[in-house]
Amino acid sequence: MASKIPRSRQEEALMSLVGHEAGLVVFLGILVAISVSNLWSLHRLKNTRKRCLPPTVAPRVSVLVPARNEERNIGTCVRSLLAQDYPDFEIIVLDDASEDRTHQIVDGLAADRRLCLLAGDPLPPGWLGKNWACHQLGNAATGDLLLFTDADTHHHPQTLSDAVAALDAERVEFLSVLPEQEMQAWGERLVVPLLSWSQQTFHPIGLLRRVRWAPLTTAVGQFMLFRRSTYAAIGGYESVKASMIDDCDLVRGVVRAGFRWTLLDGTGRVGSRMYSSFREAVDGFSKNLYARFRYNLPLFAFVWAWLVWVTWQPLVLLALRAVAPGAVRSDVAFYAAVATGLSFLLWFVSDLRFRVPLGHVLAAPVTLLLSLAIAVRSVTWHVSGRGTWKGRPLRPACR
């Protein structure tokens, strides 16, 4: 029997590289499958009434808007809510110690009896600002359904009707909506698409609804609709008073209590310009990114390093192949090309669905590099305690 010829270290390294690139292709292929599945399971809010007739007696809805220093957005938000075609609703805006014209703008619209303006109470120990504001709003609400929505959103006239119909159509007690993100400055266009991309790519909504495992659930705090009984059963905002990711913790409470949930695509119904500049976008993502990982530094570091590696390593190999063809074998280059194509496909699907300018697809690798830098800043903000948002620290108020 002929003896086996041992492989050289160089051959072993090449085979390992081929296997690595093939592994990246498999990983990205799974993400593409999730993204494609969400084209069907991540339902669009504006289509829900086509699948479910509105109830004969419309339940009363309390639309609850916390507002702190929102003079830029609050007028547009409230006017869009007042224009809803839904038959029975109230709008309660809570002015959370604003230092700008937020109170005056809302007060100027308060001639409409459906609108109520509240002045927030002082922030007590153990609470984060927005959570305290939402807690007060929940206590003031009179509706059978509670809709928490942010002051930086604006709404199509049929949004409320569609959302109420969706509770029946989706057979859930809680739903959240991913708004259509509006971006004007170049910095916004590089950073903000990360939000919709991550939801489209990493959360198989159809599967997660069936599995009902709380750690895998997701929500977007800009639009959350509860049945009042569900909100009370989970302890409302008091149960998440110190949470930086109140939206995720609330939906996890919903699942742990045995209730059903879903996430919907708000394109064409709910819009938002979250940030008005690159600096605001960086600060906003710095506030939330580390908290989304439960302050688990090893996991956080691994995920961001892996995402950047998956995106950039195949690109680097293809660049080397183009500059020096002999430096990268053809089989390695093939897998690298497939991996690169799948990466761009993921961004194409997300950007097309959520109406992000398609030119962003080519800039997506830059988005991930910027996101890595923001992730590092997020850790620094939280660990050092120096981070602030709207003039308040990112930690609960102390005595």
Q: What is the mean pLDDT of residues 91-105?
A: 96
Mean pLDDT score of the chain, rounded to an integer? 91
Q: What is the mean pLDDT of residues 329-354?
A: 95
Cα angle value 121/122/126 (rounded, 5°): 115
In order of their start, the domains of the chain are 12-39+293-393 (no CATH), 45-179+220-276 (3.90.550.10)
Q: What is the pLDDT of residues 30-47, one digit of tens each?
A: 999 999 999 999 999 988
pLDDT at 3: 45
Provide the H-helix boundaries in 83-203: 102-107, 129-140, 159-169, 186-191, 193-202
Q: Calculate what percentage of the chain has a pLDDT beyond 90.
A: 79
Strand partners, 256: none
CA-wise closest residue to 24 among 367, 309, 322: 309
pLDDT at 398: 59
pLDDT at 297 over 90: yes
pLDDT at 93 over 50: yes
CA-wise closest residue to 178 among 210, 201, 207: 201
- Indicate the burial class of 359 (C-beta count within 10 angstroms; 0-12, 13-18, 19 or more): exposed
pLDDT at 368 over 90: yes
Q: What is the pLDDT of residues 142-180, one digit of tens each?
A: 999 999 999 999 999 999 999 999 999 999 999 999 999
Beta strand segments in the chain, E: 61-67, 89-95, 115-119, 145-149, 153-155, 174-178, 180-181, 223-227, 261-265, 270-272, 388-389, 392-393
pLDDT at 2: 46
pLDDT at 8 over 70: no
Residue 99 CA, chain-centre distance (Å), reads 27
Tell me the pLDDT band of 90, cut-offs 50, 70 and 90: very high
Tell me the pLDDT band of 137, cut-offs 50, 70 and 90: very high
Q: What is the mean pLDDT of residues 1-8?
A: 51
Which pair of tokens denotes residue 342?
Answer: 């799948």
> Which residues in 64-97 are b (16+ Cβ under 10 Å) and which e?
bbbbbbbbebbbbbbebbbebebeebbbbbbbbb
CA-wise closest residue to 264 among 206, 189, 202: 206
Q: What is the pLDDT of residues 201-236, one digit of tens each?
A: 999 999 999 988 888 899 999 999 999 999 999 999
Q: Which of 64-68, 140-144, 311-315, 330-334 has the lowest mean pLDDT?
A: 330-334
Tell me the pLDDT band of 14, cut-offs 50, 70 and 90: low
CB 111 within 8 A of CB 79: no
Provide the H-helix boundaries in 42-101: 74-82
> Which residues in 299-326 are b (16+ Cβ under 10 Å) and which e?
ebeeebeebbebbbbbeebbebbeeeee
Which pair of tokens denotes residue 31?
Answer: 């993400």
pLDDT at 71 over 50: yes
pLDDT at 153: 97
pLDDT at 207: 93
Residue bearing tokens 């939402």:
134
Compute the distance between CA of residue 293 and CA of residue 295 in angstroms, rounded to an integer: 5
> Which residues in 385-395 are b (16+ Cβ under 10 Å) and which e?
eebebeebebe
pLDDT at 48 over 80: no
- Indicate the burial class of 60 (C-beta count within 10 angstroms; 0-12, 13-18, 19 or more): middle
pTM for the model stands at 0.91
Q: What is the mean pLDDT of residues 341-356?
A: 96
Tell me the pLDDT band of 5, cut-offs 50, 70 and 90: very low
pLDDT at 1: 44
